Amino acid sequence: MVKRKILEEGREYSFRSYFELPYETDEILAEFDYSFIKQRLSLPTTTKHLNRLIQLKETIEDILPLVSLSSEMARRESLVSPVLLDIIRYCQCQLKFEYTLNVSSWLKGKLDYLVQSNQDLLVIEAKNDDMTRGFTQLAVELIAMSHVEEQNILYGAVTMGDVWRFGKLDRSQQTIFQDVNLFRVPDDLEDLIKVMVGILDGVEI
């Protein structure tokens, strides 16, 4: 396959730029010498007892009919942040908001959320719409993280709050994998949290 040159030398691109570019995910990732594969991922899953799950699910179900989810900020505040705040309590992790990363003129910007434990990390990209372009942005953010972290495998997720999709960077294969499975909130909340805690606790697959 002939690689199409789409990024311009001498121009700067933020992470947000990749959400806005009118190109396919595989074409953009090829600029960084990464392949792109969609498949059902086998994700780490914790066996911890999630003692706050019932309360969180009830809270989300109670507020969903009352909150307008017409903006990214609304989705972050009402759906994403409550989930992540519970995650860090299970893992005793660090949660960073709007985390600035500056690797190069093509790899820079702010990560919506970065969750870091002693074992692993998780990049979260929150969007109001367009999960496809949102995943492209997430994939580039994972590539940027691979320049500053030593792990061979890095995980991330793109979310609209009520829907989540995971991605995985494999440094040795120079490949970004997109999970074909979606986690829906509140119906799949337990499975979603088990996966995120599993990733951050370094659970072996």
pLDDT at 113: 98
Q: What does 79-95 look like in DSSP terms, one character per residue?
A: IIHHHHHHHHHHHT-EE
Residue 21 has pLDDT above 80, yes or no: yes
Q: Is the pLDDT of residue 3 over 80?
A: no
90 with 66: CB under 8 angstroms?
A: no
DSSP code string of 102-156: EEETTEEEEEEEEEE-SS-EEEEEE-SS-HHHHHHHHHHHHHHHHTT---SEEEE
| pLDDT tens digits, one per residue of 89-131 | 999 999 999 999 999 999 999 999 999 999 899 999 999 999 9
Report residue 193's pLDDT band, with 50, 70 and 90 as the boundaries.
very high
Mean per-residue pLDDT over the chain, rounded: 95
- pLDDT at site 2: 55
Average pLDDT over residues 54-83: 94
Q: Residue-wise over 159-190: b if at least 16 C-beta within 10 A, else e?
A: bbbbbbbbbbbbbeeeebbbbeeebebbebbe
| pLDDT tens digits for range 145-162 | 999 999 999 999 999 999
User: Per-residue pLDDT for 177 more than 90?
Assistant: yes
With beta carbons less than 8 A apart as the criterion, state whether 161 and 78 touch: yes
Which DSSP state fits 2? P
pLDDT of residue 201 exceeding 90, the answer is yes
Please check the confidence at residue 81 and state whether its pLDDT lies above 90. yes
Q: How far is CA 97 from the centre of its chain?
A: 13
What's the sign of the alpha-carbon dihedral 14, 155, 200, 202? Answer: negative
What SS3 class is residue 55?
Answer: helix
Within 8 A by CB and 6+ apart from 115, the residues are: 84, 87, 88, 91, 93, 94, 95, 96, 121, 122, 124, 196, 200
Local structure of 52: helix, strand or coil: coil
